[in-house]
Amino acid sequence: MGVNQINILSFIKNKKIYSDNTLEKYNYLFDIFISSEAFNNHGNLPKWLDILDSLPDLNTDFLDVTSDSIEIGRTDEISNSQRTILKKKLLKLNPWRKGPFHLFGLHIDSEWRSEKKWNRIKNYLPNLMGKSIGDLGCSNGYYSYRLLNFNPKIIIGLDKTPLFIMQFLATKLYARNLQNIIILPTTAEDFVYKKFNFDLLLSMGILYHSKNSATHIEALNSLLKKNGTLFLETIISLTKDNLNITKGQTYAGMKNIGTIYTIDNLRKLMIENGFKNIECIDESFTNSSEQRSTEWMTGKSFKDFILPNGKTIEGFLPVCRAIFIAQKK
């Protein structure tokens, strides 16, 4: 076991991010922190742990997941000097892609205004009381937090990007009473082997990053209980054919893109891989009010890769995203 493996699990336990009971109950899930080589071998992990360890020692029982921002802690539970330190430290975990968050009055204005996408799906969510939910490609857990409002039994988020895991742990540090969200450094394809089945899966903006779309859809199906529900959000092709972005090409400035499907072809792919009752509930064009650079994500963002006519810098039609609901056969 490497030193980083020891540090991350010790940190989680020593900071009481999760109770001993939760760590024991789901030990086979927390083991992923040990088995993930990509996470443990990341060169920035010691630095990120130092950042989290130096965050102000604050206690609160306030958590509000009903508004656009995930709100943790009250403004009167932190001093001005502590809030200055909190901001300085959390900025070192840039870029914050998903959000917004509000920690003790500190507004984390993320690149994506994720509440917009959330508002497109929330009214379609089924009864989730006492259910198990998977949030795939969950980033720092914004949607997982929002799902708490539906009183599920457990929410398990999966994301292969170590930085996003650390961002989640930074917010979870101040929501210690919360025991039913666990975010892990892995992918849907790898998590299949844990044989954990969900009542509901979210896959928001993941499919077009997949090297093999069919394998990814098959993994989603494997993770669901029979008749379980999938919410899948992805970029769609507005032409009559799929867009196959080859290695070395970009799409709206993004490098790691595979196939972008038409609505009809994606529906066929989902049927072929074990889904039924497939419905497209929303089509929305991405714009720079929903995705943009901020103090918390200072790099290039959506507007930097879009031409005045709305097409991408590569000449593709405007970026359109669709949301599908489906059930496992």
Residue 133 CB partners (closer than 8 Å, separation 6+)? 144, 147, 152, 154, 155, 156, 198, 199, 200, 201, 202
**What pLDDT is attached to residue 33?**
93
For residue 3, name the pLDDT band (cuts at 50, 70, 90): very low
Q: What are the domain boundaries of the chain?
A: 3-328
Q: Which two tokens stand for residue 189?
A: 């394809």
**What pLDDT is attached to residue 194?**
83
Could you give the CA distance from residue 156 to residue 221 in angstroms, rounded to a whole number? 16
Start-end of H helices in the chain? 3-14, 20-25, 27-30, 32-35, 37-40, 45-53, 80-91, 114-121, 142-147, 162-172, 188-191, 213-223, 263-272
Contact 113/289 with Cβ under 8 angstroms? yes
Mean pLDDT of the chain: 95
Q: Is the C-alpha dihedral spanning 155, 160, 161, 163 positive or negative?
A: positive
Average pLDDT, stretch 18-24?
96
What percent of the chain lies above the pLDDT cut of 70? 98
One-letter amino acid at 243 equals L
Q: What is the pLDDT of residues 98-129, one digit of tens each?
A: 999 999 999 999 999 999 999 999 999 999 99
For residue 193, name the pLDDT band (cuts at 50, 70, 90): confident
Q: What is the pLDDT of residues 115-171, one digit of tens each?
A: 999 999 999 999 999 999 999 999 999 999 999 999 999 999 999 999 999 999 999
| Bridging pattern class, strands 198-204 and 243-244 | unpaired
pTM of the predicted model as reported, rounded to 2 decimal places: 0.95
Could you give the CA distance from residue 28 to residue 59 in angstroms, rounded to a whole number? 29
Nearest to 243 by CA among 167, 146, 306, 315: 315
**pLDDT beyond 90 at 87:** yes
Fold of 3-328: Rossmann fold (3.40.50)
Expressed in angstroms, the distance from the first to the final Cα of the chain is 41
For residue 172, name the pLDDT band (cuts at 50, 70, 90): very high
**What pLDDT is attached to residue 195?**
84
**What pLDDT is attached to residue 5?**
52
Could you give the CA distance from residue 137 to residue 117 in angstroms, rounded to a whole number? 14
